[in-house]
Amino acid sequence: MAVRRVPERTAVRRVPERTAVRRVPAGTAARRIPAGLLAPAGVTAALALLPVGYLAVRSAEGGADAVARTLLRGRTLELAVRSLGLAAVVTALCVVVGISLAWLVVRSDLPGRRVFGVLAALPLAVPSYVAAYTWVAATGIEGFGGSVLVLTLCSYPYVYLPVAAALRRMDPAMEEVALSLGRGRSGVVLRQLRPSAAAGGLLVAMYVLAEFGAVAIMRFDVFTTQIYTSYRSGFSRTPAAVLGLLLVAITLVIVVAEFRTRGRAGYATRGAPARRPPVVRLGGAARAGALAWSVALAGLAVGFPLVSICYWLAGGSSAGADAGRIAEAVAATLGVAAAGAVLTTALAVPVGIIAARYRGRTATFLEQSTYVGHSLPGIVMALSLVFFAVRYVPAIYQRWPLLVIAYAVLFMPAAVGAVRASVLQSPPVLEEVARSLGRGPLRAVGEVTLPLALPGVLAGAALVFLTAMKELPATLLLRPTGMDTLATRLWTETGSGAYGAAAPYAALLMLLAAVPGFVLGRRSLEEAS
Amino acid sequence: MKLTVTDVRKSFGATEVLRGASLTVREGDLAAVLGPSGCGKTTLLRIVAGFEGLDGGSVRIGEREVAGLPPERRGVGIVPQEAALFPHLSVARNVGFGLPRGSSGRTGRIEECLELVGLAGYGDRMPHQISGGQQQRVALARALAPRPGVVLLDEPFNALDRSLRVSVRDEVRAALKRAGATAVLVTHDQEEALSMADTVAVMREGRIVQEGAPSSIYAAPRDLGVATFVGEAVVLTASRGRDTVTCELGDLLPRRDGATGTANGTADGTGNGTASETGNGAANGTADGAANGSVAGNGAGNGTAGSVALRPEQFVLRAPGEGAGGLVERVEFFGHDAAVTVTLESGTVIRARTRGDVPHRPGDRVGVTVEGPVLFFAD
């Protein structure tokens, strides 16, 4: 038989071969990380791991007996039940609220759905303790109910945002197949939303467990508040350390679960469908109900705190709030937050570059160690730094450097993420060209990659700056004596029932927080249009 | 400078990408490394540049062994795919990137290199303000500026439009020649390799399987794989006798190594006339039978079983009755020439290159003969 082999003419452009070849060595032939990057990244990792590590050391020092006594107390079990119960209820409510709002905004003909789409993301901008303050000040609601209300209203965007994104990317063909097979569409939709809803829900659970300010203002005792009390009372610090470690362990379970579902959620939503999903027409009654639900949520989550603050500001009852004190708090807040942003970014740059450019065990370890801050409740981290500083570096205890270091550990994940993402935007081939033109590995990064990554790195620094200004628990424990930030002033005034005096701080914090919230909302509006 | 790559080996995990690749490029030559995707040519280039380490072998630039050196100390210029200009630097600063800062001749050298690639006066533009072809030429100027020992070009024309590609190729070749640079071009495009390079090295499965001038690679490929990769070919089973190669298109004249183009006209005229009759006869009594017959006859010194590779330009379309009969399936008109796809009576499909003013239409009956000596490869 005759064989015909006519090679293809080369008009067809092929996929660049390099990517294909490069994928092979993943993890096996890792390039060596230059010492100039490795050393500072090592410092960052050590700093990030210090709090957890030292907490473990400190707990162990108390002796097995003391540890066991703390763990086996009836009070510990009660705290666990209260903490986990609060987390479970808030998570469940956030899932319901988040999915329902996401579906209405993305897939129904709800009137004004684009406006609701923006409003739905805004609660992220309201610090939970500020929201708690507005509710306590206006209604006097407290305890479990108050905590559930405030935390649900502040946290549901963590479910809403990923679910809305998943709904937008869902292929309408799947629903049509289900309908053609005689099934309803809701089953298919819910099945597909499960990964993103689960990831969002776990994030909510993690934040609720780490929450300090809102529950403390609501006077609902959980792990975090008990740790604070037990540290303040201060006979023996072992119980505080042990409770902190226990909370870290619980959080870690959730972090691991969240990490896994996030991976799966990524696969479920990969690729954009060719068509936009169809909009479901709501009937008259359903339409009215949906509108009422959306208006109520937006009103409670965004409208209520604003109105409450305005009421206290305008009511003239903001007695005791003098302009000098406010200015002092603003200056202090700006100062420590800026220092925190600078240190965080400086520490994040080497790790972010390594995370973007190198593979292998060392690179993975360095990157992941910085994510510890993500799973560490602020109060626990602060406590550990207090222990460490008191014993080893008393010179910085109750001085601002310790607080700035705490910010760096807490907000490192955001900064590393920003550096990594922006370095990835700059193609590695540019570094190779720079190498071939005589630059060493570090200079190639410095002259080519970093200038190109600069906007992203600065955006990350800005985000850290804004987040640090709102930080409460670590600031409360670590601030220098006599120094107050906006957050700690709000805390103090609320604690003594001076709601009017607290109002200006709440208003300023809302204003600060609105900046990234505004950006987020605009992005989701752009996605929606 | 001369580039000598000797027996280079490289594995990524369990995958052996280079299995003893060797390549020599004379000073001032432009060599093309030609191979299909995944043959290891890009890895070879990255090893020469120093972006990947090697597991064995040596890389010499001039007399200097560079295998252990980092990229910045090799004196190798690279022109990557898609140019990869530094987007935050002007054209002039891109070109000057590899020149020592504050050196006296720096500005002059930048001007000189831009002129070399025909872009004098473009120094102040930013990379996004110039076209893709211009970016590619700036990338070349940038690579040439520090006077590297070797310039490596990694499929540099892939991102360009087909129409633009030919002119950029010419300009790049001219600039390399003006600079007197030793250069290696990696490509999977055989037309690019054959038209641009002084020497072509065909790469397959991690080895260089044949090196030589473009014309000799095309005319005398060492095996069937090279023959079909470098240029189009129709491959037919055939058997080789003492002076002829017999296949379904008749008795053809085998090419003798080293002897190009002997007595085309006369040999073809007669050869094809008789060939067509025997060819048709063989086709009637199944090709398999014929192949088996020749294998059986092998021991008797009668014929060696193998394949014959026929180039599209070797086919001649004639009136029906002359040569092997066939039906025109498709005519692709390119202006300067045309390609005619013909299905022979045996079912074999061939693609013939003809002059542009082809008189045939799809559905026409034609006769097909073969012109010139053919390539035979024993099994």
pLDDT in tens, A7-21: 333 333 333 333 333
- pLDDT score for A16: 36
Instruction: Tell me the residues of chain A between 392 and 451 that have a Cβ less than 8 Å away from chain B.
Output: 427, 429-430, 432-441, 448, 451
CA dihedral sign of residues A358, A361, A367, A368: positive
Q: Is the pLDDT of residue B134 over 50?
A: yes
E strands along B148-281, which residues?
150-154, 182-187, 199-204, 207-212, 234-240, 245-247, 250-252
Read off the pLDDT band of A434 (50, 70, 90).
very high
- What CATH code would you report for B233-378? 2.40.50.140
Q: Is the pLDDT of residue A368 over 90?
A: no
| Across A366-375, A410-419, B184-193, least confident range | A366-375
- Quote the tokens at residue A241: 């350390």
Using a CB-CB distance cutoff of 8 angstroms, which residues of chain A are in contact with residue B109? none
Would you list the domain boundaries of chain B?
3-228, 233-378
Superfamily of domain A52-270+283-314+511-529: MetI-like (1.10.3720.10)
ipTM: 0.78
Using a CB-CB distance cutoff of 8 angstroms, which residues of chain B are in contact with residue A11? 162
Tell me the average pLDDT across A63-73.
80
Q: Is the pLDDT of residue B72 over 60?
A: yes
Average pLDDT across chain A, whole number: 82
The one-letter code for the residue type at A32 is R
Read off the pLDDT band of A220 (50, 70, 90).
very high
- Quote the tokens at residue A143: 């305890």
CATH class of B3-228: alpha beta
Are residues A337 and A468 in contact, defined by beta-carbon separation less than 8 angstroms?
A: yes
User: Chain centroid to CA A259: how far?
Assistant: 13
Q: Is the pLDDT of residue B115 over 90?
A: yes
| Across A6-15, A135-144, B13-22, B45-54, least confident range | A6-15
pLDDT tens sequence across A131-183: 999 999 888 888 999 999 999 999 999 899 888 888 887 777 767 777 777 77
| Across A123-127, A189-193, B14-18, B65-69, least confident range | A189-193
- pLDDT score for A520: 54
Using a CB-CB distance cutoff of 8 angstroms, which residues of chain B are in contact with residue A436? 49-50, 71-72, 74, 76-78, 98, 143, 148
Inter-chain residue contact A10 with B349, CB threshold 8 Å: no
Read off the pLDDT band of A512 (50, 70, 90).
confident
- pLDDT score for A294: 92
- pLDDT score for A154: 92
Of residues B231, B216, B166, B232, the one with CA closest to residue B196: B166
CA distance to partner chain A, nearest, from residue B357 (Å): 22
Q: Between B5 and A390, where is the model more confident?
A: B5
Are residues A213 and A382 in contact, defined by beta-carbon separation less than 8 angstroms?
A: no
pLDDT tens sequence across A253-296: 887 777 776 555 444 444 555 566 677 788 888 889 999 999 99
Would you list the domain boundaries of chain A?
52-270+283-314+511-529, 321-497
Q: Is the pLDDT of residue B268 over 60?
A: no
The number of beta carbons lying within 10 Å of the beta carbon of residue A264 is: 14
- pLDDT score for A185: 67
- pLDDT score for A246: 87
Strand bridging mode B207-212 / B234-240: unpaired
pLDDT tens sequence across B235-251: 888 888 888 888 888 88
Q: pTM of the full predicted structure?
A: 0.76
Contacts of B148 (CB under 8 A, 6+ apart): A436, B75, B76, B77, B181
Tell me the average pLDDT across A389-405.
89
Inter-chain residue contact A20 with B98, CB threshold 8 Å: no
Q: Is the pLDDT of residue B266 over 80?
A: no
Whats the size of chain B, residue-wise?
379
- pLDDT score for A68: 82
From residue A424, alpha-carbon distances to A355, B189, B227, B237 in Å are: 9, 30, 42, 52
Q: Is the pLDDT of residue B170 over 60?
A: yes
* A28 touching B (Cβ < 8 Å): yes
Tell me the average pLDDT across B53-63.
93
CA dist A343 and A320 (Å) reads 35
- pLDDT score for A252: 82
* A19 touching B (Cβ < 8 Å): no
- pLDDT score for B45: 94
Q: Between A32 and A182, where is the model more confident?
A: A32
Inter-chain residue contact A435 with B51, CB threshold 8 Å: yes
pLDDT tens sequence across A296-337: 999 999 899 989 888 888 875 555 557 888 899 999 999 999
Q: Is the pLDDT of residue B269 over 50?
A: no
Q: Is the pLDDT of residue A40 over 90?
A: yes
CA dist B243 and A346 (Å) reads 79
Tell me the average pLDDT across B295-305.
50
pLDDT tens sequence across B200-215: 999 999 999 999 999 9
Using a CB-CB distance cutoff of 8 angstroms, which residues of chain B are in contact with residue A17? 37-38, 41-42, 155, 188
Enclosing H/E stretch for A23: helix A17-23
The architecture in CATH of the region A321-497 reads Orthogonal Bundle (1.10)
Enclosing H/E stretch for A278: none
Inter-chain residue contact A6 with B232, CB threshold 8 Å: yes
Inter-chain residue contact A3 with B15, CB threshold 8 Å: no
Are residues B283 and B324 in contact, defined by beta-carbon separation less than 8 angstroms?
A: yes
- pLDDT score for B291: 35
